[in-house]
């Protein structure tokens, strides 16, 4: 039992968006089924949910919904659960000897809360200082996308992105800030449409106040 959540009810864990692990919780046999087998199983189970709700699955509008949802879950929303979809974070020698901060702002974040399976939508901002390696800008976007495409907790997502970039770039000088809206907050429960959730992970030189302030100033610039 994780010490963070051991004294809480399942509702308290969900409503407070808590998780006790940096790794996505996966069973040992998570990839025993093929993607098509997963789609077939989810299709049957989602049809049962719709039946339980009293929907008429013979209606032209609804008859294909279970299969559409199943394909969406496996091939799109949760494709980041499959390690075969992990992007290759190709790096290059820093031949330009660029030794300043590199910042990529406003990367789209489209994920789903693992407590309610409702969307998390927002932006990620990533920065690093080269330790001799640089990474293609599109690869940063793909790293964000890969870890977002799974049932998530925002704190975990932030750390997973940072750790992946540390490993790829062989540097501790990484900063990740994520700013999102959680549909499980805006459409249910408290139904707060105005608040957003901000998480951050700093390491290496970004733990220094001056470097961190420079990074945050770049995020607020109107370019």
Q: Please list the active-site residues.
A: 113-116, 154, 182, 184
- Helical residues (DSSP H) of 149-208, grouped into ranges: 154-169, 183-186
Q: How far is CA 176 from CA 4, 6, 69, 108, 145, in A?
A: 23, 29, 31, 13, 14
Helix 65-72 and helix 35-52, axial crossing angle in degrees, nearest 10? 130
Nearest residue to 160 via CA among 194, 126, 122, 208: 126
Is 16 buried (19+), middle (13-18) or exposed (0-12) by CB count in 10 A? exposed
């Amino acid at each position: 039992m994780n010490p963070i959540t051991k004294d809480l009810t399942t509702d308290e864990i969900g409503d407070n968006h808590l998780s006790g692990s940096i790794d996505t919780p996966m069973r040992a046999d998570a990839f025993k089924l093929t993607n098509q087998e997963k789609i077939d199983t989810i299709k049957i189970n989602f049809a049962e949910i719709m039946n339980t709700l009293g929907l008429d699955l013979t209606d032209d509008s609804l008859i294909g919904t279970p299969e559409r949802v199943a394909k969406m879950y496996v091939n799109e929303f949760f494709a980041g659960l499959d390690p075969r979809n992990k992007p290759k974070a190709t790096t290059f020698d820093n031949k330009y000897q660029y030794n300043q901060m590199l910042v990529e702002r406003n990367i789209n974040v489209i994920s789903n809360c693992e407590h309610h399976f409702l969307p998390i939508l927002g932006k990620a901002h990533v920065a690093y200082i080269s330790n001799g390696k640089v990474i293609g800008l599109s690869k940063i976007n793909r790293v964000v996308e890969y870890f977002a495409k799974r049932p998530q907790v925002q704190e975990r997502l932030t750390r997973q992105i940072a750790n992946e970039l540390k490993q790829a770039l062989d540097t501790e000088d990484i900063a990740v800030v994520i700013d999102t809206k959680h549909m499980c907050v805006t459409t249910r429960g408290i139904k707060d449409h105005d608040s957003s959730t901000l998480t951050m992970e700093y390491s290496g030189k970004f733990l220094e106040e001056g470097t961190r302030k420079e990074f945050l100033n770049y995020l607020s610039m109107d370019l």
